[in-house]
Structure 1
Amino acid sequence: MKIGVIGIGEMGGTIASRWSKKGHSVCVANSRGLEAVKKRANEIGAVAADIYGAVEGADVVLLSMPFPAVATLPSDLFDRTAEGVAIVDTANYYPDVRDPRIPQIDAGMPESVWVSQQLGRPIFKAFNNIMFYALSELGKPEGSPDRLAIPVAGDDARAKQIVMGLVNELGFDPVDGGSLEESWRQQPSTPAYCCDYGAAKTREGIRAAVKGRAEKIRDSVWREKYGRLFANKPTYADVHADIIALNRSLNPF
């Protein structure tokens, strides 16, 4: 399968590397152009490209960019891709902390619906509810009783199965997160978000989400307590367990 990855930071680079090792043809790109990704591409066994080269002919395109950056992508970027290409959005909206305010999302539009509108193409929401450390270190073989889960939200049943299969290849149980309109159920500070749950508990968390509640948590108690975790621990690996415990405590179900 040909996969294009735009954005090869910790998340995008890790996913690209794993898929490349699984035998997929992976092209990687970022906003700075071909030369800027050559070194990283060689390290992970991928092909360096510009953003047009990354998506051309791709079966799957992974967008692993800062959330607002999707609005800066060229309007013709996907003109040379197949109509059924599965575009996967991994980003999350953190207003005032990292991202500028986006009125449509603040008014209740699911984050990935907004992303889909910027691209003018249907997309999937996946990989946004798992922290980099877990993605990098906690994958397990299929059938493991303590395997973590990753939900996939989107509307095209055929392409969703492709994305869910790629989740499985990375060592995580894919969970159907419903339609793209329902992808708010896996946004930041919802019960299924970055809690390191297995498949059954992740499904429960998706069902337990209450419209409008997560944003209030995200912008108040979560922000305050999350900042404190980094006072004396400099890396995500150091604070991973603490973040998981915090997220679970804010959304008991």
Structure 2
Amino acid sequence: MTQTIGILGSGLAGKAIAHLATAAGYNVVIANSRGPETLTSLVEDLGPLARAGTIEEAIAAGDIVNLSIPLASFEKLPADKLASKIVVDQTNYYPGMGDFRRADLDNAELTSSELLQRHLPEARLVKGLHNLSWIHMEADAQPEGSATRTTLPVAGDDAEAKAEVTKFIEKIGFNVVDAGSLAESWRIEPETGIYFWCYAPDVPDGLSHDEAKRVYQQPGKPLSREEARKLIETAKRPSPIGGNLAAMPQIHVDLFMEQASAGTV
């Protein structure tokens, strides 16, 4: 039977996952905080395998539920509805964006995924699909066996849930390596070697905005499983903890701000 992916969040990351999932033959139920009536054009674009729903409907329908939301919104997630669900944590901690900041994250007392797991104690949480941009989620996805297929990490405490998420990620276009437990997921968080930079192409200096945009939207150099494992094993815990949009390539910041201005983030 065809699996259904429930997607909470219809911003850039949620849309990218929805496109990859429907292209791979999954059913998708996508939801946002504004209601399913705001998703009509997106669902039309996604095709017959997708439909819009409420948050509760997307959770209920999903064999896997993908969290494409800001980490700052985690307390709004219904823990009771997500109990026993396989949940993909696509969130990241960016303390410089907005007002969301926590001492327990800043002081490395726990990872952002452990924070989510505490809020969702009965969910089967797996960290994944969080460490490359929305652009390269789609640009870098390749069929199984392709020489240009890149590798993404997952982390989690539930082995069966991690195996199911691994199958999903492999089917939508990526190789996968195991990065360990949720406590070890700092190894794949922002500012580590396997986060963002290794999936984006180099953009030469001196290009016009349009030229830089064209180059940046191309696939990055593929990362092998062996290279991914080495990046994970040799990771140093960042200090300070958390991502920084200003540290990203200027063309990435420009494209992000363009999308934010259009209300699609």
Normalising to structure 1: TM-score of the pair?
Answer: 0.81
Amino acid at match of 2:250: L
State the secondary structure of the residue aligned to 2:91: coil
In structure 2, the residue matched to 1:123 is: 125
Quote the Cα distance in structure 2 between the aligned partners of 1:184 and 1:77. Answer: 27
Residue by residue over 1:124-183, the C-alpha shift from the partner in whole angstroms, topping out at 9 and shown as x without a partner, is: 100111112211112222122332111011122222111111111121111111111111
Alignment root-mean-square deviation, CA: 2.3
Q: Pick 1 or 2: higher relative contact order, CA cutoff 8 A, min separation 6.
A: 2
Given the alignment of the two structures, is residue 209 of structure 1 paired with residue 235 of structure 2, yes or no? yes
Quote the Cα distance in structure 2 between the aligned partners of 1:17 and 1:69. Answer: 23
**Do the aligned residues in 2 keep the contact of 1:28 with 1:48 (CA within 8 Å)?**
yes
In structure 2, the residue matched to 1:250 is: none
Amino acid at match of 2:255: T
Q: Which runs of 5+ in 2 are unaligned?
A: 200-222, 257-265
Q: Return the offset for 1:234.
A: 3.0
Amino acid at match of 2:63: D
**Do the aligned residues in 2 keep the contact of 1:142 with 1:171 (CA within 8 Å)?**
yes
In structure 1, the residue matched to 2:113 is: 112
Quote the Cα distance in structure 2 between the aligned partners of 1:64 and 1:224. Answer: 21
Quote the Cα distance in structure 1 between the aligned partners of 2:82 and 2:247. Answer: 40
Amino acid at match of 1:229: Q
Q: Return the offset for 1:223.
A: 6.0
Amino acid at match of 1:188: P
Percent identity between the two aligned chains: 33
**Do the aligned residues in 2 keep the contact of 1:71 with 1:119 (CA within 8 Å)?**
no
Quote the Cα distance in structure 2 between the aligned partners of 1:34 and 1:203. Answer: 40
Quote the Cα distance in structure 2 between the aligned partners of 1:217 and 1:30. Answer: 28
Residue by residue over 1:38-97, the C-alpha shift from the partner in whole angstroms, topping out at 9 and shown as x without a partner, is: 331222131110000001142100000011112122343325xxx2x2100111101023
In structure 2, the residue matched to 1:245 is: none
Amino acid at match of 1:92: N
State the secondary structure of the residue aligned to 2:66: strand
Residue by residue over 1:175-233, the C-alpha shift from the partner in whole angstroms, topping out at 9 and shown as x without a partner, is: 1111111111100001111112332111111101123xx133857xx66543x7259x8
Given the alignment of the two structures, is residue 33 of structure 1 paired with residue 35 of structure 2, yes or no? yes
Quote the Cα distance in structure 2 between the aligned partners of 1:69 and 1:152. Answer: 22
Quote the Cα distance in structure 2 between the aligned partners of 1:155 and 1:34. Answer: 33
Give the 5 Å matches for 1:34-183. Answer: 34-45=36-47, 46-78=50-82, 83=84, 85-98=85-98, 100-108=100-108, 109-120=110-121, 121-183=123-185
**Do the aligned residues in 1 keep the contact of 2:150 with 2:224 (CA within 8 Å)?**
yes
State the secondary structure of the residue aligned to 1:76: helix
Amino acid at match of 2:111: P
Amino acid at match of 1:235: L
Q: Return the offset for 1:111.
A: 0.9
Amino acid at match of 2:229: R
User: Kindly tell me: are residues 34 and 102 of structure 1, through their superposed partners in 2, closer, same or farther at Cα, counting changes over 3 Å?
Assistant: same
In structure 1, the residue matched to 2:250 is: 229
User: Kindly tell me: are residues 151 and 18 of structure 1, through their superposed partners in 2, closer, same or farther at Cα, counting changes over 3 Å?
Assistant: same
Quote the Cα distance in structure 2 between the aligned partners of 1:217 and 1:76. Answer: 30
Normalising to structure 2: TM-score of the pair?
Answer: 0.78
**Do the aligned residues in 1 keep the contact of 2:22 with 2:46 (CA within 8 Å)?**
yes
**Do the aligned residues in 2 keep the contact of 1:20 with 1:44 (CA within 8 Å)?**
yes
Quote the Cα distance in structure 2 between the aligned partners of 1:90 and 1:117. Answer: 16
Q: Return the offset for 1:9.
A: 1.4
Amino acid at match of 1:91: T
* More displaced stretch, 170-179 vs 92-101: 92-101
**Do the aligned residues in 1 keep the contact of 2:125 with 2:161 (CA within 8 Å)?**
no
Quote the Cα distance in structure 2 between the aligned partners of 1:58 and 1:223. Answer: 31
